[in-house]
Amino acid sequence: MRTKFSGILTLLLALVVQLTFAQQKTITGTVTDDTGLPLPGANVIIKGTSTGTQSDFDGNYTISANVGQTLTFSYVGFDTKEVKVGTQNKIDITLEPGESLSEVVVTGYSTRNQTVQTSAVVSISAAELSQMAPTTSIDNMLQGKAAGVQVTAANGKPGQGAFVRIRGTGSLVAGASSPLYIVDGAPIREEDLGNIANEDIENITILKDAATTARYGSRGANGVVVITTKNGNRNKDAVVRFSSRYGTTSQINRNFSMMNAEQKMQYEAEMYALGITSASGLPGVTTAPGSPERQQLIDNQVDWEDYLLREGVLQNNSVAISGGAEKVDYYFSVSNDKNTGIIDNIKGFERLSSRLNVNFDAKEWLTLGVNVGYSRSFSDEPRDRNNTQNAFRATYDYSPYETVFVLDEDGNPLIDENGDPVYNLTHTGFPVAQAILTDVESAIENQTLANVDATVKFNKNFSYTFSTAVSHLNRRREYYAQPGGALDDVINLGGGSKTDSGIQRLDLTISNRLNYNLSNDKHNLNVLGLYEFNLNENNSYTINNRGFPSALLTTQVNGSDLRNGQTFRNRLTLVSYGAFADYDFKERYLASASYRRDGSSSFGSDYKYGSFYSFSLGWNIAKESFFDVSWVDLLKLRASYGTVGNRNGIGRYDSQSTVSFGTSPYPGGSSTAPANIGSPELQWETTVTKNIGLEFNLFNNRLRGVSDYFVRNTTDLLFLIPRADEAGVGSIAGNLGEIENRGLEIALQGDILRSADFTWTLGGNIIFLDNEIISLPDGEDVTPNAFNILFREGAKINEHYLVRYAGVDPATGRPQYYGADNNVYFFDTLPEGENRVLQGKSTIADKEGGFFSNISYKGIGLRTDFVFKYGNWVNNVVKQNYYGDGSNGNTVADNQAVGAFNYWQQPGDTDVLPSPLYTEEQAVNSDRFLERGDYIRMRNITLSYTFPREYLEKTPISTLRIYAQGQNLLTFSKFWGDPEVGISSGETIDFADTVAPGEITLYSYPNTKSIQVGLDVSF
């Protein structure tokens, strides 16, 4: 799909519009490559005009031209050919692989041919996207696709996104390390990406180094992901494309076993025998093995995983219509996505999206464009917290002998006065099975992304573009603990409790661009001047009432006890000036420079403006006349240097001193409390990025590779700097500290086989990442809002800070720990003071990437994609809870893993769990359950069949593809449980507040696997 862009670009660059009135004729033909395979999407343009078309899926094209005109055929990676129109009505053309890929790189402000661009950039086309795992959020799809892009799925909740980190973690405060996402010129938050329909995406370009990110000034420090939506083709009849897929989804199989009823009761008896008195009331103690009571418990046992969870349904249908006339092109789409998720009895996720993109040549010198997309999504928000209300936690905690309903002596459910069965509170005191039905939370999001623009061409060289881009999210969230529901029964809310909360997020960008372009045989120069204004405003509310007369009444007007009713508003603005220049000499010597000056309302009055710049150089060695190595098609060296900023991670008004009136109530009236101590010198944090890169294509472009080495140095870190306690102000936002990320990225692709019928491509990428905290405010350790993570100078970012577990004492069965002095101690002999240590074990993988294989044989395709992480550590608290040593962590009433039987029993036992006799000695924050998070996962496997053209000739169908696809079907990992850990517990630390994704397992929505079948048809 890059080719569409190059087509449009070509059209735009065809500056002379000629109208002729000669007799036209229709020419048809097929564009193929040197092996005879059709080239879909090849550009066919009448030379010297803006008229052109593209070949269809089978390489066919139709164009009207005059005799004597010349047709230009071009395709990414192939040499362009020209044919003069004569008497022939059919022109078949074979393009030879070119000496370099001529992909177009979209930076958001401009586009540049891949051959001549000097930045570390990865471009992912629609064609590639369509081969990826169709999850409901695009950030998940980026994993393993681009070297240097680390992706951690937030969790498995339908519609949930991922944490994307480009070239490491660039900031130490929450919400500041994600890249900037730009959709058709409008920024969108990472967590809102699930509102974009994947089918509408034309291209995702990931900008990694300063040569391009510096053009985004104070927002680009952590990389930029530029998402472009699709456009139609000019002079082409409408193509209707219909896609549909259907499948099922389920929890990824657990790689461990929990106890069944018999085992659990045996365990309870063993614990009681060891003196765990809290087991005394449990059925393993109160019933005798072999007794009828015990047998009844076994007979009525419940598989809670099976009961609370289900096999969910995935469904997607989309229709897209695209095409164009001489002066207009359009793309229209409607799609519907459903993912019920794996919790039984709730709806899950559903999204309806629609989009219309139109470009229109209003005058010879004036082009107007509009891209508008709207989506509405519904999402159930099941409890994602580490307590008894969490359904996933319940699937582990509930002992299998605990039944769904309270049973009578005959094993039949007890019936309440209303004739309903009585739910079993279980030992946790909370009936999740009931709460799923009566205590429901859901969110509805309406997302509008709209961009309108006008381009005026002054002359051959100068043009001006004005655009406004809007990203507007209207989110409404409702949480109703119904009267008479589980929560109301358990904690007596007094007739239920309903919370409505919502937010309107508006992001508006108004952009003015003046473009100068000079192009001749030797020199190509493009200069862009930018003047931009960005406004971001949030309006939110929250209302809570209790005392509802009926579960059927959900609006606040029905409540009788108003507890909360508040609205909030904040605003952030940005004014930007910029000048960007790209130059190349005969495509051999390349240079780019950028300068941007950003003013942000969030900074101190004298520090609002910051300047960001970059320089980059490139050398296409293979284009030199002296370079004569026939098997080298492309050899390019490039280097860049630049500064980029970040302004996220602090409050919008942190530079100002403010007071608030709602936070410190006191009898007698309003009361004033200091809300923020202003930091008048507050400014952006700055990242200096150095990058050198090498690009090569060898052996007739059959082996393609890119490698980059980078150093990112971030200074003036935005931080809440703790003040002296005696100052009485807590922490004040400021700029202090420094971190460094450096790494090597390698991406390789090779065509193992390349013939007319059979191609086989292998590829992969990896990043080797290293990071260090160089300095912190006052050199002091910083404890972020995370679980036992500590920032210390000289350490890696996000290292776990725990006491080291030293195994079981074989003589006594007591757990042992290392003191800070590296000697081994028991719980009660640990030295006074701090025994937790940093061990270089971070949540951040130091090697990450993906690899794929793509085989195609006569229309049959088999594509597999793998992703991997290596070197990250996860504190596996979920495992800890089920190796409870009697009661540590949870209670002995909680079900346990079968492995919990393997505890120390007699002197000399090794390779065992500690004796439950010392259960309270587990209360140390130790690294006993800190595990490597390494994994290799087969993210996607797709088997597809594309019907040959001859089968379809007699039908109105032009292309037809059917496929079966599996996602996450295969995982290689030693981790206990699922190794893809992102959010630990979403209601404890939510997406936006997460500093250390993947730090700890804590019952967030698990990841899922799926199998789907689908078809794509166009006519």
Contacts with another protein by CB under 8 A lie at 365-366, 454, 456, 458, 464, 466, 510, 512, 531, 533, 535, 568-573, 575, 599-602, 605, 608, 652-653, 656-661, 663-678, 722-730, 732, 778, 780, 832-834
Instruction: Tell me the closest approach of the beta carbon of residue 469 to another protein, in angstroms.
Output: 14
Instruction: Tell me the closest approach of the beta carbon of residue 373 to another protein, in angstroms.
Output: 24
3 state SS for 229-252: ECCCCCCEEEEEEEEEEEEEEEEC
Instruction: Tell me the closest approach of the beta carbon of residue 458 to another protein, in angstroms.
Output: 6
Instruction: Tell me the closest approach of the beta carbon of residue 463 to another protein, in angstroms.
Output: 10
Query: Residue 983: what residue type?
Result: I
Task: Answer for the pair 393, 258: CB distance below 8 angstroms, yes or no.
Answer: no
- CA–CA separation, 452 vs 434, rounded Å? 49
Taking the least distance from each CB to another protein, the nearer of 779 and 956 is 779
Instruction: Tell me the closest approach of the beta carbon of residue 653 to another protein, in angstroms.
Output: 4
- CA–CA separation, 229 vs 374, rounded Å? 13
**Of residues 739, 845, 751, the one with CA closest to residue 784:** 739
**Of residues 929, 927, 933, 936, the one with CA closest to residue 997:** 933
Instruction: Tell me the closest approach of the beta carbon of residue 503 to another protein, in angstroms.
Output: 13
Instruction: Tell me the closest approach of the beta carbon of residue 677 to another protein, in angstroms.
Output: 5
How many CB atoms are located within 10 Å of the residue 523 CB? 11
Taking the least distance from each CB to another protein, the nearer of 573 and 713 is 573
Instruction: Tell me the closest approach of the beta carbon of residue 838 to another protein, in angstroms.
Output: 17
- CA–CA separation, 396 vs 113, rounded Å? 54
Instruction: Tell me the closest approach of the beta carbon of residue 18 to another protein, in angstroms.
Output: 17
- CA–CA separation, 790 vs 834, rounded Å? 13
Residues 6+ apart with CB under 8 A from 515: 110, 462, 463, 464, 465, 526, 527, 528, 529
Taking the least distance from each CB to another protein, the nearer of 152 and 602 is 602
Taking the least distance from each CB to another protein, the nearer of 135 and 600 is 600
C-alpha 435, offset from chain centre: 30
How many CB atoms are located within 10 Å of the residue 369 CB? 18
376, with CB counted inside 10 A (0-12, 13-18, 19+), is middle
Residue 913 is inside which H or E element, if any? Answer: none
Taking the least distance from each CB to another protein, the nearer of 67 and 727 is 727
Taking the least distance from each CB to another protein, the nearer of 133 and 276 is 276
At which residue do the structure tokens 């696997």 appear? 1009
- Tokens linked to 597: 């000056």
Taking the least distance from each CB to another protein, the nearer of 292 and 494 is 494
Taking the least distance from each CB to another protein, the nearer of 828 and 911 is 828
Taking the least distance from each CB to another protein, the nearer of 529 and 763 is 529
How many CB atoms are located within 10 Å of the residue 288 CB? 10
Taking the least distance from each CB to another protein, the nearer of 238 and 362 is 362
Query: Residue 177: what residue type?
Result: S
Residue 116 is inside which H or E element, if any? Answer: none
Instruction: Tell me the closest approach of the beta carbon of residue 362 to another protein, in angstroms.
Output: 11
Taking the least distance from each CB to another protein, the nearer of 727 and 860 is 727
- CA–CA separation, 148 vs 771, rounded Å? 13
Taking the least distance from each CB to another protein, the nearer of 512 and 713 is 512
- CA–CA separation, 52 vs 217, rounded Å? 37
Taking the least distance from each CB to another protein, the nearer of 568 and 627 is 568
Give Cα separations from 86 to 46, 55, 70, 541 (angstroms): 13, 20, 9, 69
- CA–CA separation, 599 vs 700, rounded Å? 48
**Of residues 694, 696, 711, 743, the one with CA closest to residue 118:** 694
**Most distant CA pair in the chain: distance in Å?**
101
Task: Answer for the pair 890, 397: CB distance below 8 angstroms, yes or no.
Answer: yes
C-alpha 629, offset from chain centre: 42
Task: Answer for the pair 799, 836: CB distance below 8 angstroms, yes or no.
Answer: no
667, with CB counted inside 10 A (0-12, 13-18, 19+), is exposed
Instruction: Tell me the closest approach of the beta carbon of residue 786 to another protein, in angstroms.
Output: 17
Taking the least distance from each CB to another protein, the nearer of 674 and 899 is 674
Instruction: Tell me the closest approach of the beta carbon of residue 211 to another protein, in angstroms.
Output: 27
Instruction: Tell me the closest approach of the beta carbon of residue 670 to another protein, in angstroms.
Output: 5
- Tokens linked to 694: 């090498």
At which residue do the structure tokens 């939506």 appear? 229
Instruction: Tell me the closest approach of the beta carbon of residue 728 to another protein, in angstroms.
Output: 3
Instruction: Tell me the closest approach of the beta carbon of residue 493 to another protein, in angstroms.
Output: 16
Instruction: Tell me the closest approach of the beta carbon of residue 281 to another protein, in angstroms.
Output: 15
Beta bridge partners of 789: 800
- CA–CA separation, 417 vs 411, rounded Å? 19
Taking the least distance from each CB to another protein, the nearer of 444 and 572 is 572
- CA–CA separation, 71 vs 246, rounded Å? 43
Taking the least distance from each CB to another protein, the nearer of 366 and 629 is 366
- Tokens linked to 134: 């169709």
